[in-house]
Structure 1
Amino acid sequence: MKTAIKICGISTLEALDAAIEARADFIGLVFFPPSPRHVDGHAASALAMRAADRIGRVGLFVDADDALIAEGIKAGRLEALQLHGEETPARVAQVKERFQLPVWKAVSVATSEDVTRAESYRDAADLILFDAKTPKDAALPGGMGLSFDWSLLDGWKGRPGWGLAGGLRVDNVAEAIVRTAAPLVDTSSGVESAPGVKDAGLISQFCRVARAA
């Protein structure tokens, strides 16, 4: 089965065009001001207009309230919501019910207990995104180029849908797909020349390698 590809942290039209040209399946729009990949409503609207129906749009939110999520959905014409904070299963279910869109829940992984914790989101989330756990004093919950031990996912049954994030780059994404059989791979810093600055060449290479795995 083809592995879907998401390029997260798209914030410019040039990066969007590169993701579309590379035939990525999704882009991620980050609605989290501390992130160097943050987009405001104006930028999100311009990206959504340019994207049209050529690529899926996922909005990333970190412990956001309903008002911010609603603004992001409208501006980015979002097709799915990625919750990347400390949202509980109840909050995930609430967001899904409130906005009637698929909800992806990012789960930070460092140990097998973290993977087990993802079980609690089975009935609430449409997709679990396993990401690397960042240091406790980190300013951001992701997008730092960190990876985790993929063998921790060996016991995961795969329901609901799931994806793999955390330190994925051109030089390791094929191994990640072969090792985990992830239905979706998600990269952000792995296709950047600097924090928040996407590299069109790396996006192209990443997508080509992921599709060939």
Structure 2
Amino acid sequence: MAYDIRVKICGITDAAARDAAVGAGASYVGFAFFPKSPRHLTHEAARALALGVPPGVAKVALVVNADDAALDALLAAVPIDMLQLHGAETPARVSEVKARTGLPVMKAVGLADEADLPALAEHAKVADQLLVDAKPPKGAELPGGNGLAFDWRLIAGRRWPVPWMLAGGLTPANVAEAIRLTGARQVDVSSGVETAPGVKDADRIAAFVAAAKGG
């Protein structure tokens, strides 16, 4: 039985990965703007990739604690449909970014244990979507894309007043189980479909989307 599961392929760095994601049936493609990431894109590279995304597939820009000037420069250069705030942004900052840009905002919240759950509820009051991710280990360079999962039972049966997306350590092998345990209707993958950091694999992308959708 196939479910209407929406898949986001994040950290796309080249046209082959973009086309593989679109061809496999992804609902979102994500571009990372964070210099420490192996998936970081220049505005010029991202613009070229974004212009090749067909209508109906959402183009998401991942940023980390970006200030107004950085957001303005990004959006002046790259046609984006949604912003993913993946840093330590507060709910107030989420509201500011929404008001300033006029774009929907997805806020990433990292989970390690139950103490992290209240942040999801707070951000759900202002964000358009939530990205429920694994909390990075202390001292990690990257806020996400580390290939780490959290205990999915933490959010089993939990719901928020906005759409949410499951992320963190998902692969073609475990995504169906993750969906079953959490009830997620949206899933996000980056490192789980790569052969090396930042290098997406078309076969893994296709396998991930098929597994997520129950194919």
Question: If the TM-score is normalised by the length of the shorter chain, which range does it land in?
Answer: over 0.9
How big is the shift at 1:155?
A: 5.3
Contact 2:25–2:209 (CA<8 Å) still a contact in 1? yes
Among 40, 47, 50, the alignment partner of 1:48 is: 50
Deviations 1:82-130, CA, capped at 9 Å, x for gaps: 0000000000000011111110000000011111221111221011111
Q: Structure 1 residues 69 and 104, CA, compared in 2 at 3 Å: closer, same or farther?
A: same
Is 1:103 the counterpart of 2:113 in the alignment? no
Q: 2:199 aligns with which of 197, 200, 203?
A: 197
**2:184 equivalent among 182, 185, 191:** 182
Counterpart residue number, 1:77 = 79
**How many residue pairs are counted as aligned between the two chains?**
213
What corresponds to 1:5 in structure 2? Answer: 7
- Aligned-pair CA distance for 1:154: 2.6
SS of residue in 2 equivalent to 1:137: coil
Question: Kindly tell me: are residues 200 and 125 of structure 1, through their superposed partners in 2, closer, same or farther at Cα, counting changes over 3 Å?
Answer: same
Which 4+ stretches in 1 moved above 4 angstroms? none
For 1:1-213, list aligned pairs within 5 A.
2-53=4-55, 55-154=57-156, 156-212=158-214
Q: Could you tell me how far 1:75 is from its partner in structure 2?
A: 2.9
Runs of 5+ in structure 1 lacking a partner?
Answer: none
> Structure 1 residue 76: deviation in Å?
2.8
Which one is further off, 42-51 or 165-174?
42-51
Partner amino acid, structure 1, of 2:113: T
SS in 2 for 1:51: coil
Contact 1:59–1:73, Cα closer than 8 Å, also in 2: no
Kindly indicate whether the alpha-carbon contact (under 8 Å) linking 1:7 and 1:186 is maintained by their aligned counterparts in 2: yes
The answer (yes or no) to whether the contact 1:57–1:76 under 8 Å persists in 2 is no
Which is further off, 200-209 or 48-57? 48-57
Aligned-residue Cα RMSD (Å) equals 1.2
Residue 138 of structure 2 aligns to a residue in which SS? coil
Distance across 2 between alignment mates of 1:154 and 1:18: 31
Which shows bigger deviation, 43-52 or 90-99?
43-52
Q: Secondary structure at the match of 1:212?
A: coil
Q: Write the distance in 1 (CA, Å) between the matches of 2:97 and 2:126.
A: 9
**Secondary structure class of the residue paired with 2:213:** helix
Name structure 2 gaps, 5 residues minimum: none
Q: Identify the range of structure 1 (141-150 vs 48-57) with the bigger mean alpha-carbon deviation.
A: 48-57
